[in-house]
Chain A
Amino acid sequence: MQPTPEVVLAVVFLPFAAAAFVPFVYRALGERTAYAAAAVALVCFGLVSRLYLAGAHGTVSVEWIPSLGVSLAFYVDGLALLIAFLASGVGVLILTYSGGYMHGEPGQAKYYATLLAFMGSMLGVALAGDLVALFVFWELTSLSSYLLIGHYTSESDSMYASRKSMLVTVAGGLFMLVGFVLLSWASGQALGAATYSVPVLLDNAEAVRTALENAGLFVPVLLLVAVGAATKSAQVPFHIWLPNAMEAPTPVSAFLHSATMVKAGVYLIGRFRPFFLPEGALPLGEWTLAIAVLGLVTMTVAAVLAVGSTDIKELLAYSTASHLGLIIAGFGFANEYGAEAGAFHILNHASFKAALFLVAGIVAHEAGTRKIDHLGGLRKHLPITAVVATLASLSMAGIPPFNGFYSKELLFEAAYDAAVHVGGVGWLFPVVAVLGSVFTFLYSIKFASLFFGEVPDELGEVHRPPLVMLVPPALLGALVLAISASPNTFLGALVGDVYASVLPGGGHHSFTVSLPTELTPYVLMSTITIAIGAVSFPFYDRLHRGIRAALRGPLRANWWYDGAVDGVEALSAAATPRIQNGLLRTYATWALAGVAALGLAGYVASGVSLPAFTGVGLAPAMVLVLLVAVVGAVAVDIAPSHAAGVLTLSILGFMVAIFYILADAPDLALTQLVVETLVLVIFLLVLDQLPAFYGEGRLSRTVRDGAVATLVGAMVAATVLVTTSATPADPIAEFLVENAGVPAEHGSVILNAGGGGNVVNVILVDFRAFDTMGEISVVGMAALAILTLVRMRERGETQ
């Protein structure tokens, strides 16, 4: 049935509204704001459940920018509901957990407001049914992630990390936006009217795809969307921001950087899978080549990097990238097993990874360290945490009968199936999948082993975590157990609909999983994975050191990122003193040259042609006045001093005023005269403050100034010629002249005409009064600015 509009809008906008009230709530409740925020998340979760229980499927649309065909549309289906469940459900747990974790931390009002705003943005991403709305919510999640990663504003590591995540994810989002615009353009070609609506695009996938292919844009659009997804979901080589993002408070890492925000990229891939991968597509089409390869490479590389990690949160961060790679790889394969693997692993990964992050938070909070070398035997002090961690780690490792096993098994099945159909190089798919899984097995077991064995000497006292920090991971652990115990219940209830969303053609599909009872190729792959993993686990430390030793120079993606950012910073630092050196003439040179060059380039680009010269057509008196003005202009250039220059310049100004008089424009002439006078006086006032370099200019500077002057002159001349030669079909001048005066017949009050004899003034104060309003505001602002600057200098402030 159709979703209820009020419910959908409430789900998305309630967190934003609540975020606005957080500062006030915080003033009243203090640290208990966490529970108020958790209650908001719970309401959202309830609303999402209501949508789910009502079997909602369809679009809700609110008009937003009708002139551009953009609406605030929301599209409810299985995939959207699963992500919405994750965002709101994990949100409840995280906000509760924050109540314990953030105890005594600074900036809590900001923290809870941003977390709520993030939750709203994520719900918006999940439910968005319009590409522009999707993009806006997408960037809002990047923005809130930026604020949350940089929560500790005084620490340079946090600042580095937040800037990195912002640069990577927002840049990726812009690529995605270009892809969306191209998609919309193609829909205009195919359907007659351009649309940003997601369901319309999906329903007409065939036609839009054909239009894209005809324009040769199919692969570019696919890659643009893939870049957006890869940056958000931390896929190689854009994975670098995720480990740094662990500078954020741990609840944030668990929420944004494992369960929800990084799932946005996965969501995008899932959402566009039926569009780019039609039924009966080749087993090795563009989609599989791009997406499956991206996912498998990430899965393996990130798993290797996780083994090379020294910090538990870093390990979990790389592991998150690796598992997102698994989901993306699943969606990348052109067979249904892949779709099943991706759909199921979204849920599985959220359950065990959010639990593990919360466990890591407890360890860091209670043991005071996150160094893997310093941790061990935590079972003795954190018994419940140890149970949750072991469960979740085994699930992450893909060991039967835990839920992680089922989705990994489906991926093996997909990779094997693809290899059978592709043949040859295609056999790399299962090989790489197994390789990545071996490393996944290794680091998962390593994480679990922190809770067993001997207690290292470096480990200090370990406290008991408060109940609010223990319950959320325990609940997630229970979820892992529940999915493991009865996977088919969850498949039928939730994942089946997700699976339907990522398949072309829609329709209701579902699938079931079960523990293997016979030896199939993929069961063999799982066995090989576990066997190699178990055999090589004793050499974990050697592997760990080997990976760290190998990561040097250009082999690290960070080397490229740091090089690029440092390079841009150096370039900026080198350019600034040249462009902004505190000398007015330098600013003027750059600004004028820039404006003139851009203006002329615009004319050239749009291919305007200058009107043909048709003779002067001016009265002799006017020609004479203009000639004097030209003489004045030349005299300015050869004036020996500032005073002479200013006085000569005013000759030019007064000649223009006379020209206006001759051209029957008394208002312009009056204005020109008084402004000219005033400017002359102001010039004389500031004259002795100006540097006196008359007549001592170097040749190079003279040439440069001449070039700039010529450029500006050319631009202005071209503008005048182009604008005056334009002949609009319905000129407004006639309307103004007809309506400015007093009508022949009028009552005692006129409203629809200017009622004034002076058209110019009637335009200024009546027809175009809004413009005048703006202009006088600018005059006022200029005065305020000068006042402020002069006063600041008097007080000795220079910055």
Chain B
Amino acid sequence: MSGRDASARPAEGVDLDHVAEDAAPEDPAPDDDAYDYEAGSETTVVARTVVRFVVPITLVTAVALLLQGHNLPGGGFIGAVLTAAAVTLIYVIFGLDYVRTAVLGSPRFGDPDDLAVSIYRWMFGLGLALAATSGLAPILFGYEFLTQAVVFVEHVPLYGELEFASALAFDLGVYFTVVGALLTIVAEVGAE
């Protein structure tokens, strides 16, 4: 599915519109930083256009699910899987290189320490650390490991009463762990 083996395969998904658009740039030496959005892609323009709209909406939805999880359906895990699904969608439609070069700005391809995966690795490491820290913090106050508290703040302008749950920190830990882990898997398996 990744862009690099597309040339070896017949481009089954390429339709006429795509070819017409594709024919335009004839620049023999493209800029290293600029990603060639069309070359070698076997996905349709419809898919690419839809993804451009859907991914931001999905990401916002994911964050909303994460934040509202305490009181409404949602939570860290659901938000994380949704985020991962959104990024995976970019992978599927635009290929692995796109995230590496256009999103993260690293032109190095095939580098074993490639930026995307190392970011994901950091992400799940940090997530685990955050979850563990949020569990350890109550011990400082003399409570048991992973005791959660809720704080209500009154008289906030516009909102009135606001509820802050310490569980959110733990949930964020869950979120980052799951996003990092899933994307590591997707990126590595996809690169295979």
Contact = CB atoms under 8 A, between A and B. Distances in A.
Contact of B148 (A684, A765, A777, A787): A765
Nearest to B171: A765
Contacts of B116: none
A685 B189 contact: yes
B153 interface: yes
Contact of B70 (A750, A762, A769, A790): A762
Contact of B121 (A750, A756, A766, A787): A787
A662 interface: no
B146 A773 contact: yes
A786 B181 CA distance: 10
B139 to A, nearest CB: 14
B143 interface: yes
A253 B171 CA distance: 60
A609 interface: no
B188 to A, nearest CB: 5
A751 interface: yes
A783 B180 contact: yes
Interface string B152-182: 1110000000010101001101100110111
Interface residues of B, number: 62
B75 A682 contact: no
A695 B141 CA distance: 63
Contacts of B163: 742, 755
Given A684-B92, A758-B74, A765-B174, A671 B81 contact: yes
A791 interface: yes
Nearest to B145: A770
Interface string B104-128: 0000000010000100110011011
A674 B165 contact: no
Nearest to B173: A776
Nearest to B153: A748
B167 A757 contact: no
Contacts of B171: 761, 765
A749 interface: yes
B77 A764 contact: yes
Contacts of A777: 128
Interface in A132-171: none
A749 B73 contact: no
B167 A773 contact: no
Contact of A758 (B70, B91, B121, B189): B70
Interface string B125-151: 101100110010000000101111111
A757 B65 CA distance: 14
B88 interface: yes
A760 B71 CA distance: 10
B6 interface: no
Contacts, number: 165
B51 interface: no
A436 to B, nearest CB: 64
A783 B124 contact: yes
B55 interface: no
A549 interface: no
B118 to A, nearest CB: 10
Contacts of B177: 776, 779-780
B63 interface: no
Given A677-B85, A682-B189, A782-B185, A776 B70 contact: no
Contact of B127 (A670, A754, A776): A776
Nearest to B148: A766
A746 interface: yes
B3 interface: no
A794 B117 CA distance: 15
A748 B88 contact: no
For A667, A685, A762, the residue with the greatest tally of chain B CB atoms inside 10 Å of its CB is A685
B143 A751 contact: yes
Nearest to A767: B148
A663 to B, nearest CB: 13
B181 A779 contact: yes
B70 A756 contact: yes
A773 B129 CA distance: 11
B192 A758 contact: no
B74 A761 contact: yes
B89 A681 contact: yes
A796 to B, nearest CB: 13
Contacts of B92: 681, 684-685
For B76, B85, B127, B192, the residue with the greatest tally of chain A CB atoms inside 10 Å of its CB is B85
A54 interface: no
A776 B131 contact: yes
14 contacts: A674-B85, A681-B92, A685-B190, A749-B150, A749-B152, A751-B143, A753-B150, A754-B150, A755-B70, A765-B75, A773-B146, A780-B177, A783-B184, A794-B112
Interface of A: 666-667, 670-671, 674-675, 677-678, 681-682, 684-686, 689, 742, 746, 748-751, 753-758, 760-762, 764-766, 769-770, 772-773, 776-777, 779-780, 782-783, 786-787, 790-791, 794
Given A686-B189, A758-B73, A758-B74, 10 more contacts: A671-B78, A677-B85, A681-B89, A755-B165, A760-B73, A760-B75, A772-B174, A780-B128, A783-B182, A787-B188
The 7 closest A-B pairs by CB, nearest first: A755-B150, A757-B71, A783-B181, A666-B73, A756-B70, A765-B167, A674-B81
